[in-house]
Amino acid sequence: MTSPAHSAAPDTLITYYLQITDRSQFKPAYLEGDAHLLVMKMERPDVRFYKFMYTAVGEVWRWRDRIIMPEAELEAAISRAETSVHVLYARGVPAGYFELVKQGESTELMYFGLRPEFVGQGYGKHLLSVAIATAFDEGCKRLWVHTCNLDAPEALINYQKRGFVIYETKNEPMPGRYT
């Protein structure tokens, strides 16, 4: 089987922008009773670990932005008071992460995903539920995210099942960095 990163990219990038504008729209799906799952906030920026997680989660989906970003710029981005990075551990192993960025009363779910070996076990819906709850617990009034046709096909479905609604779709020629 060919992974998405090694197959030809489509000619068009389709980006979906989704939002939850009220906590009542949230449809959680936690994995109950799994004592081996733990989500921890990174209390101090660690660029090397962050890059490991970003690459481990996103390489197969052609994530490039944080890899090509100068290290000092990346450290500044993840060090901002408005930014928080949370890592999912399964049996002590980093399995995925999410990054939230506060923007006034809105919060962006900037990055979200699992390492490939942890996909298909329910961790995605659990981690997304934790991300949404965390954003609203921290006072956001609107949580938004974008995904595209280069991401896992399950991503859009997971977002919608947790209560996100598409508010905009953009089509553009595929940027060269993804081909």
Give me the domain span that covers residue 37: 11-172
Asked if residue 128 is part of any domain, the answer here is yes
CATH of the domain at 113: 3.40.630.30
Asked if residue 27 is part of any domain, the answer here is yes
Tell me if 88 sits within 8 A of 38, measured CB to CB: yes
Hey, what are 29's tokens? 């799906």
Instruction: Say if strands 37-41 and 165-173 run parallel, antiparallel, or are unpaired.
Output: unpaired
9: DSSP letter: P
Asked if residue 178 is part of any domain, the answer here is no
Tell me the three state secondary structure of residue 5: helix
Give CA angle at 108 (121, 134), nearest 5°: 60
The one-digit pLDDT tens for each residue of the chain (179 residues) are: 445 555 677 889 899 999 999 999 999 999 987 779 999 999 998 999 999 999 999 998 888 889 999 999 999 999 999 999 999 999 999 999 999 999 999 999 999 999 999 999 999 999 999 999 999 999 999 999 999 988 888 899 999 999 999 999 999 988 877 77
Asked if residue 6 is part of any domain, the answer here is no
Hey, what are 116's tokens? 């490939």
Instruction: Say if strands 142-148 and 106-114 run parallel, antiparallel, or are unpaired.
Output: parallel
The reported pTM is: 0.92
